[in-house]
Structure formats: structure tokens, C-alpha cells
């Protein structure tokens, strides 16, 4: 790939006006003109040209495990018999020849699902010395995919923070292309939890290039970590380093840090339809590519994916990562490190040269 193509890949140029979006408004991998998506080609280029990131304890690369909390409660409906009073009235009405049938009610039952519990996930991660990032939805009762209120999970959130994990906002279906809605969800989050947050990921990885970056920035977030393909693991813009997104319309960088998402478990199973062995081999390949340029491996694993094949693969992936001995850190810690150690500044200077801006 020549420099012009690498610059175009970094800028996600094709995504700005891609007419073929899926039903969630997302650009899919098959629309991309860049086919070598299992290699971080832009990061590799910067590395070859002398950019060498470093990490605490001289670790070779960094790993960021994260979880989008979509569901915590299982729900079901049950039918309740009509009241005694209604049944007596019905009998009396029927006796005088009036055909009246009283209706019962359908009521919704909900209870926390133990298999999806945050404590279970935290304990599992703790066994590997992993502090991860959790992105929570901040929705009202009537909104699409509402499953829990922030008040219901406040105590669990506090336990996560006490154990060194990070919390962020998981923007709902409408937030990604509506700046007002995104800000409203963040304000609700802050108000109901009393916590301040600096990271964002949108539900379903819904993303509008470049609007979502502007919306995330204007809501006051420091970083976004949505930008990965929903339908494939890999490097959506050739980067496995945190970076500043570029807007081809203005010719300027956007003032928010993108920590690109590289692996989501749903991509492997629901979209790519891989079996466990193939999925694990792909994970190994991605890890080797990232190690070779001392990048950041970002993983999204939902709390509801800890059983069956997905649970089995999660354990295998953590075992594999443990052997590789990277710096395990939350998204916030990685962004902080890249800023404090001037890594972001150094790589950004090289990116500007590559983009010739
Ligand atoms: Zn989600």
C-alpha cells in the first residue's frame, strides 16, 4: 500500500459518503475498498518509520478488555386471572343471558439473570488480574432495548469502581447521530449515578462518520471506542493506536480520541460464523499483528456472552493473553498513558506528515 492509500485508509475516506448502509445505518466491511483488514497497516507504517510506543513494566503491547452492558434482567410475561369481583359479575350476567367474559391481565416479570451478573464477570477478570471498562446504557423505561435503570445498577457500579474498573456511557440506538440525545443520556448518567465518565461506545456499534465523533466530542467525552466493524474483527482504519479522527470535509482533525475497537465476540460468532478454533486462530493473528507494532488490542465481550461457546472462547482468549503478558488496562488508563507519555502527540505528528496536512 502506498502512502496515498494509507492516508485514505486512516481518514476512512470511503465511509464519508458510502451509500450502502445496513438497517442500523452502519457501514459494513464489504463496502470497504481496503481488503487487508486483519493487518493494522497504518500503525505498522508509523512503527516502521520509527514510532515505538512503550508501556508500564516494559510490556510489549497493551490490552483493553471492555464490556457493553445491554442486558442484566430476564423478562417474561404471565397471565393473571380476572378478579373474583369480575368473575361474580360475569356469572350473574350470564345467568340473565348476557354474554360477558371478564379478561385477565398480562403482567411482566423481571428478575436479575445470574449468568449475566457483573459480579460474575468481574470475578472472572480478577482471576487474570484484569481491570476492564464497562459501558452502561442510560435509557428511559419506554426506549428501545431498555432493560435496566441506572438506579437499579448503582450499587454494582460502585463495586466495579471500588475494584479499579472504569465506567463509561453506552449510547442508545438514537444517540449516535443525534448530538442532543447523546448529551441527554450523558447528563442522565451523571445525575443518576453521581459519577463522572470520559469514555463512550454506541449500542450496536452504530456510527455515523464523522457525525458521531463530533457528537461524542461536544458531549464532553475524551474518547470514543465504538469504531470497529460490527461484521468483522480487524482494523477498520488500519490503526491499533489511539488517534485523532480526520474530517475530509473540513480538512481538520476532530478533537476527540478514538480508541479503535478491534474485536467484538458477536462479530466472530453472529456475523463471521466462525467455530471456536478458527476464532481463536484469528485472535492469535490479530494479537501478533498488534504486538509487532506495540499497539493496543481492544476487546468487547458482552456480560451476556459468558456461557456456551462464547464463554469457552473468552476463557481461551484470556488464557492466551495471560501467556503473552501484555499491559492490561482500562480504556481510560490507556488514553491517559498515551497522553501523558506523549505517545499520542508523537504518532499524531507522524500522521499529519502522512496525510500531508
Ligand atoms: Zn449494546
CA 311 to centroid of ligand 1, rounded, Å: 18
CA 231 to centroid of ligand 1, rounded, Å: 14
CA 201 to centroid of ligand 1, rounded, Å: 8
**Mean pLDDT, to the nearest integer, of 260-282?**
97
Given this model, what pLDDT does residue 314 score?
Answer: 98
Q: What is the pLDDT of residues 221-238, one digit of tens each?
A: 999 999 999 999 999 999
Given this model, what pLDDT does residue 100 score?
Answer: 83
pLDDT at 216 over 90: yes
**Beta carbons within 8 Å of 320's beta carbon, 6+ residues apart:** 280, 283, 284, 287
CA 294 to centroid of ligand 1, rounded, Å: 29
CA 205 to centroid of ligand 1, rounded, Å: 7
pLDDT at 154 over 90: yes
d(CA 154, CA 315): 28
CA 293 to centroid of ligand 1, rounded, Å: 30
The structure's pTM equals 0.92
CA 89 to centroid of ligand 1, rounded, Å: 48
**Mean pLDDT, to the nearest integer, of 130-137?**
98
**Mean pLDDT, to the nearest integer, of 142-159?**
95
CA 226 to centroid of ligand 1, rounded, Å: 10
Q: How confident is the model at residue 9 (pLDDT cuts 50, 70, 90)?
A: very high
What's the CATH fold of domain 3-72+114-355?
Answer: TIM Barrel (3.20.20)
CA 138 to centroid of ligand 1, rounded, Å: 11
CA 114 to centroid of ligand 1, rounded, Å: 19
d(CA 195, CA 161): 10
CA 208 to centroid of ligand 1, rounded, Å: 16
**Beta carbons within 8 Å of 226's beta carbon, 6+ residues apart:** 176, 200, 201, 202, 205, 206, 207, 212, 261
Q: How confident is the model at residue 303 (pLDDT cuts 50, 70, 90)?
A: very high
Given this model, what pLDDT does residue 105 score?
Answer: 78
CA 37 to centroid of ligand 1, rounded, Å: 23
Task: Name residue, grid cell 493473553.
Answer: 321
CA 20 to centroid of ligand 1, rounded, Å: 22
Given this model, what pLDDT does residue 222 score?
Answer: 98
Q: What is the average pLDDT score of the chain?
A: 95
Q: How confident is the model at residue 23 (pLDDT cuts 50, 70, 90)?
A: very high
CA 267 to centroid of ligand 1, rounded, Å: 13
CA 103 to centroid of ligand 1, rounded, Å: 37
CA 145 to centroid of ligand 1, rounded, Å: 9
**Would you kindly state where each structural domain of the chain is located, as residue ranges?**
3-72+114-355, 75-112
Given this model, what pLDDT does residue 349 score?
Answer: 98
Given this model, what pLDDT does residue 326 score?
Answer: 98
Q: What is the pLDDT of residues 79-114, one digit of tens each?
A: 777 778 888 888 888 888 888 887 877 787 889 999
CA 72 to centroid of ligand 1, rounded, Å: 12
Q: Is the peptide bond before 210 cis (omega within 30 degrees of 0)?
A: yes
Other CB atoms within 10 A of residue 105 CB: 11
| 324, 287 contact by CB (below 8 A) | yes
CA 203 to centroid of ligand 1, rounded, Å: 4
**Mean pLDDT, to the nearest integer, of 303-313?**
97
Three-state secondary structure call for residue 133:
strand
CA 67 to centroid of ligand 1, rounded, Å: 9
Given this model, what pLDDT does residue 89 score?
Answer: 83
Given this model, what pLDDT does residue 95 score?
Answer: 83
d(CA 113, CA 190): 26
**Where does residue 46 rank: exposed (0-12), middle (13-18), buried (19+ CB within 10 A)?**
buried
CA 238 to centroid of ligand 1, rounded, Å: 24
Q: What is the pLDDT of residues 325-348, one digit of tens each?
A: 999 999 999 999 999 999 999 999
CA 16 to centroid of ligand 1, rounded, Å: 23
**Mean pLDDT, to the nearest integer, of 187-216?**
97
Backbone angles phi, psi at 296, to 5 degrees: -120, 120
d(CA 264, CA 254): 25
DSSP letter assigned to residue 115 = G
Q: What is the pLDDT of residues 35-84, one digit of tens each?
A: 999 999 999 999 999 999 999 999 999 999 999 999 999 988 777 777 78
Supply the DSSP string of 190-234, one letter for each residue: HHHH-----EEEEGGG---TTHHHHHHHHTT-SEE---S-SS--S
Other CB atoms within 10 A of residue 159 CB: 13
pLDDT at 133 over 80: yes
Amino acid at each position: 500500500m502506498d502512502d496515498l492509500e494509507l492516508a485514505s485508509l486512516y481518514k476512512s475516506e470511503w465511509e464519508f459518503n458510502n451509500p450502502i448502509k445496513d438497517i442500523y445505518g452502519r457501514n459494513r466491511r464489504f463496502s470497504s475498498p481496503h481488503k487487508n483488514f486483519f493487518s493494522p497497516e497504518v500503525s505498522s507504517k508509523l512503527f516502521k518509520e520509527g514510532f515505538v510506543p512503550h508501556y508500564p513494566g516494559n510490556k510489549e503491547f497493551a490490552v483493553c478488555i471492555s464490556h457493553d452492558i445491554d442486558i442484566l434482567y430476564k423478562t417474561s410475561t404471565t397471565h393473571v386471572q380476572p378478579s373474583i369481583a369480575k368473575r361474580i359479575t360475569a356469572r350473574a350476567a350470564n345467568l340473565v343471558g348476557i354474554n360477558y367474559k371478564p379478561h385477565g391481565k398480562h403482567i411482566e416479570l423481571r428478575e436479575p439473570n445470574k449468568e449475566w451478573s457483573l459480579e460474575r464477570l468481574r470475578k472472572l477478570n480478577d482471576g487474570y488480574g484484569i481491570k476492564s471498562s464497562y459501558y452502561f446504557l442510560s435509557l428511559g423505561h419506554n426506549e428501545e432495548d431498555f432493560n435496566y435503570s441506572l438506579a437499579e445498577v448503582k450499587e454494582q457500579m460502585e463495586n466495579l469502581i471500588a475494584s479499579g474498573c472504569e465506567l463509561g456511557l453506552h449510547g442508545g440506538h438514537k444517540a449516535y447521530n443525534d448530538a442532543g440525545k447523546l448529551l441527554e443520556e450523558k447528563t442522565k448518567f451523571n445525575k443518576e449515578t453521581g459519577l463522572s465518565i470520559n469514555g463512550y461506545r454506541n449500542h450496536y456499534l452504530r456510527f455515523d462518520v464523522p457525525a458521531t465523533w463530533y457528537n461524542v466530542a461536544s458531549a464532553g467525552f475524551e474518547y470514543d471506542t465504538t469504531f470497529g466493524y460490527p461484521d468483522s474483527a480487524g482494523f477498520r482504519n488500519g490503526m491499533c493506536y489511539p488517534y485523532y479522527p480526520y474530517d475530509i470535509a473540513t480538512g481538520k482533525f476532530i478533537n476527540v480520541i478514538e480508541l479503535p475497537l478491534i474485536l467484538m465476540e458477536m462479530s466472530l460468532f453472529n456475523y463471521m460464523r466462525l467455530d471456536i478454533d478458527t476464532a481463536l486462530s484469528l485472535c492469535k493473528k490479530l494479537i501478533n499483528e498488534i504486538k509487532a507494532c506495540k499497539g493496543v488490542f481492544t476487546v468487547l465481550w458482552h456480560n451476556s456472552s459468558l456461557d456456551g461457546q462464547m464463554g469457552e472462547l473468552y476463557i481461551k482468549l484470556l488464557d492466551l493473553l495471560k501467556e503473552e503478558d501484555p499491559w492490561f488496562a482500562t480504556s481510560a488508563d490507556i488514553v491517559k498513558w498515551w497522553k501523558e507519555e506523549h505517545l499520542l502527540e508523537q504518532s499524531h505528528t507522524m500522521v499529519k506528515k502522512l496525510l500531508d496536512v
